Structure 1
Amino acid sequence: MAFDRPRRILLYWGGEITYEGGTMSYRPMMSKKLFRINQRISFVELVDKIYEFMEVDREQMKLNIVYRHIVSRGVYSDITLTDDDGMEGIFDLFDADPNFCADDQTAELVHPGPYVHDIISPMTPHRARSIFYDLIDDSTLQVKRCDGTFWDHMPIPTRVWHYICLAGFEGVASLGRISVDHALITSLVERWRPETHSFHLPIGEATITLQDVEVLWGLHIDGPPVTGRDTTHSADAWSQLCMELLGFMPARSDIDGGRLKVGCLSAALDRLLPDDVTDDMCRQMARTYLLVLIGGILFSDNSGNKVPLLYLQLLRDLETVGRYSWGSAVLGTLYRSFCNATSPTARTICGPVLLVQLWTWERMPTLRPIRLEPAQEHHGAYGSRWDVGFDLRNAPRHVLSVFRDQLHILRPNEFIWQPFSDELLDMLPHYCTAGRDIWRAVTYLICWEIVECYLPHRIMRQFGLHQPIPDQRLIGNQAALHLTDRRGRANTDWELTHRQ
């Protein structure tokens, strides 16, 4: 009998086994751990592994090991393991069916795919495939953001807040400080496919849409794209521009290429407005807040402590900056960040990943923490309802294996396709629903050099519609678009480039 490939065992403990209706089951709140069997281990070796993973003292706890396997769909039997003969019985089941699985939700829950190669190529390097074949370790991606400065300087002065609202950032600026779970984001990256810009889950494809950006963050999704000429400036020129638009001149050491250290922005926000504050001073402070918000949350890079000055030139006229399609720019940046993070060599992820966490909490109850505060009416963007305390005692957090497990066994009734009811949408501010006419538009998302396809026709269930077999619109040039970046493209007019 040839047991010649790794098998993954899902270990449950700490709950209750039940036998009802002729099948074996268990309480869902049991602790879980995935581990791998690489060879024909003995019963004693298996026991040692289980003690190791449970992190308990074998002198204080005696194990009773029961193996569950599928007899037919929805019907399970059990094998009590006490010696090597029981282990041989399990190996016989493995050998009898190469695709044997202890759960009937799918033939093989952990296989990275793809099974059909008309859209997704098996040759595309992907984090999930490399982990499956032990080519990389199971380390968690580090989420890079530098928005702490923004929340440290709340509340925003009233006259300054007026200009932030005028610029169209009222919704996202009202979110509050929300921590990002790096393990949750990593588990979702492993489910992301760059070819379709969607998560491939046991219940089907799902993704973050323009609806989510607008409802959760209140960002404008219609209007001119966030792009233009990528002008290269000297450090002195950037300093002069900061003096004009932000009201202070940073030291040359605070400017790194076209990026500004967030520390000097924090120092600028520390200064109190004088009693005789002028309108220009309020505008300058508003731009400082916006630059931290844009560079720290919406378009953060891998530095973790610098914000791109590229966006400063767009903030010159606060009366017109709100006309830009900031929401589509954020979504395009998010797609690009997740696509890059699927690389087996990726160690970090940046960009608006908080949006993904809020999206997950809205749609997958098994992955979200329990709110301590009761639901209440919200007057801002809907994502602000998660700026609350959580009961984390029974909630999965910061453990990659737990999130992987929850996604592997995700059932249809554990995914909310439409978390935003019509009644809810009618209660939200106008800026959270102003672009609903284009939520389902198949188009491109642009942010400077970034161009990413937006494919809502692949996830029609998120809009309450029947999902037909989707066509392959906009997919053909995805690989070429992903290769486009700003390196070596100084002074490029990206708007003109995209038109060509």
Structure 2
Amino acid sequence: MADNRNPEDLSVLYLQATHMSSRVSSLTVDDIVKVKRSDNLIWKLYTDNYLHRRVLSYLNHMGFYGVLECGSQVIDNHLITALVERWRRETHTFHFTCGEATVTLQDVSIIWGLTIDGEAVTGVDVSHKVEERQHICLDMLGFLPESKYLKGGHLSMTALHDHCISNLVNDETSEVDVVKFTRCVALMIIGGIMFPDYQGRSARLIFLQLLRDLDNVKSYSWGSAVLAFLYRELCNAIRVEKSTMAGPLYILQIWAWSRIKCVNPDRDGLTLVVPPVDPDALIPVSPYGARWTYGFSYTYSPTHSVRIIRDSLDRMNNNEFNWSVYQKNDIDVKTIIDSYDNKI
């Protein structure tokens, strides 16, 4: 399909009439989809070194520490918009001039280091009164949030952050309190980075069901759930009337940077030197997404201009799309691939 805005075969792309690409005109050519984020408070905890090594050790054991190691990045709304315009709900793929492509389980596993095997991430969101939700928080998280911080099945990130700041873990903290503190941090990672939704700055308490036994957390297929959530948010965002979207869009941005040469920032010649895997280390190896925490520039690539990025994608040929990013002979990913071979 040479032009996503005018598909040749409507028997396949039968949802074109409601697709956001159909609204692109001279009047809307610079309109963008704005990304809603809920992760600023978890990054404050992490970058300000408020997470004790005992907490980080638990997060690693649970399989979430790799997400933190990838760091916070500015999401380019213009790049995301250009990609959403090429996402098709009918096929769950991006339609480029050089072919179709999509984010896969391997991408999620390598970029964030999440498990993609195991039990489904699911649960029953039973309706509770505010008092009942407060006592669930007291039991699982170690504090009783004020009612103003509870909205439906969501708990405010502010409440979680403030509790953590007021009850920092140290060498003398009891193991019970360390576990509860870790659940708070894990809930912020899940709600703020992995599954951010339109509520904004809040996390769904339904995830607490899966955090009761920290030893069992890694048995769930978090990577599969993240990918499914990303697909769902992309499918929602393509509707003509949509102007905002949520979801794990950091994964999508890294995927695009890694595969689409015309939007790939220059990493200023930096190469991520990955140390040998140390099974006794806090976390054996950084996920692939951590390479993008290093300095890079947009000197030779477009950014923050949906019109230019859209045009670059329109002109992209097969040689400008990297169909096989994760090569074992690439020093940037060799150790990472070896470490995650059992997941992909």
Contact kept? 2:261, 2:321, Cα under 8 Å? yes
Partner of 2:280: none
Structure 1 residues 377 and 401, CA gap change in structure 2 (3 angstroms):
same
Q: What residue identity is the alignment partner of 1:306?
A: S
Deviation of 1:111 (Å): 5.5
SS at 2:229 equivalent: helix
- Distance 1:305-1:137 versus aligned 2 partners, 3 A rule: farther
Matched length:
328
Quick one: distance in 2 between partners of 1:432 and 1:309?
Answer: 30
Whether 1:221 aligns to 2:129 is no
Higher-RCO chain (CA-CA 8 Å, sequence separation at least 6): 2
> What letter corresponds to residue 236 of structure 2 in structure 1?
N
SS in 1 for 2:74: coil
- What amino acid maps onto 2:68 in structure 1? A
RMSD: 1.9
Structure 1 residues 295 and 431: CA distance shift in structure 2, 3 A: farther
1:148 maps to 2:40: yes
Find the partner of 1:129 among 4, 12, 22: 22
Normalising by structure 2, we get a TM-score of 0.90
Alpha-carbon distance in 1 for matches of 2:316, 2:29 = 24
Cα drift, residue 373 of structure 1: 6.2
Cα distance in 1 for residues equivalent to 2:334 and 2:298:
32
Give the equivalent residue in structure 1 for 2:314.
408
Cα pair 2:123 2:206 within 8 Å, conserved:
no
Once superposed, which parts of structure 1, at least 4 consecutive aligned residues long, lie more than 4 Å away? none
Determine the structure 1 residue equivalent to 2:244: 348
Partner of 1:332: 228
Whole-Å separation in 2 of the counterparts to 1:322 and 1:431:
16
Q: Does structure 1 conserve the Cα–Cα contact (< 8 Å) formed by 2:38 and 2:201? A: yes
Larger radius of gyration: 1
Post-superposition shift, 1:390? 2.4
Identity rate of aligned residues, in percent?
Answer: 36
Partner of 1:199: 94
Q: Which amino acid in structure 2 is aligned with residue 279 of structure 1?
A: E
SS in 1 for 2:158: helix
> When you count strand as a share of all residues, which structure comes out higher?
1
Residue 180 (structure 1) aligned with residue 71 (structure 2): no
> Structure 2: which 5+ runs fail to align?
275-284
* Greater helix share, structure number: 2
**Which amino acid in the other structure matches residue 113 of structure 1?**
N
Q: What amino acid is aligned across from residue 341 of structure 2 in structure 1?
A: T
1:421 aligns to 2:327 (yes or no): yes
- 1:401-423 Cα shifts (integer Å, max 9, x gaps): 11111111112211111011133
- What residue is the counterpart of 2:191 in the other structure? 295
Task: Show the counterpart of 1:234.
Answer: 129
CA distance, structure 2, for counterparts of residue 429 and residue 110 of structure 1: 35
Read off the aligned partner of 2:35 and give its amino acid letter: V
The alpha-carbon deviation at position 248 of structure 1 amounts to 1.4
Residue 290 of structure 2 corresponds to 384
Which residue number corresponds to residue 395 of structure 1? 301
**Structural mapping, 1:464-479, within 5 Å:** none
- CA 418–123 in structure 1, closer or farther in 2 if over 3 Å, else same: closer
CA–CA distance in 1 between the matches of 2:288 and 2:298? 22
Return the match for 2:340 from 432, 448, 452. 432
> Which one-letter code corresponds to 1:190 in the other structure?
E
Q: 2:181 aligns with which of 285, 293, 296?
A: 285
Amino acid at match of 1:359: W
> Structure 1's 246 and 330: CA in aligned 2 closer, same or farther, altered over 3 A?
same
TM-score (norm 1): 0.63
* 1:247 correspondence with 2:142: yes
Aligned-pair CA distance for 1:276: 2.1
Q: Provide the secondary structure at the position in 2 that maps to 1:178.
A: coil
Residues 430 and 145 (structure 1), Cα distance of their counterparts in 2 relative to 1, 3 Å cut: farther
Q: Which amino acid aligns with 2:272?
A: Q
SS at match of 2:24: helix
Q: Does 1:139 align with 2:31?
A: yes
- Aligned runs of 1:27-66 on 2, under 5 Å? none
Query: Which residue pairs with 1:360 in the alignment?
Result: 256
Q: Deviations over 1:430-482 (max 9, x none)?
A: 6633222xxxxxxxxxxxxxxxxxxxxxxxxxxxxxxxxxxxxxxxxxxxxxx
| Distance in 2 of aligned mates of 1:393 and 1:160 | 39
Q: Give unpaired runs (5+ residues) of structure 1.
A: 1-105, 437-500
Structure 1 residues 122 and 326, CA gap change in structure 2 (3 angstroms): closer
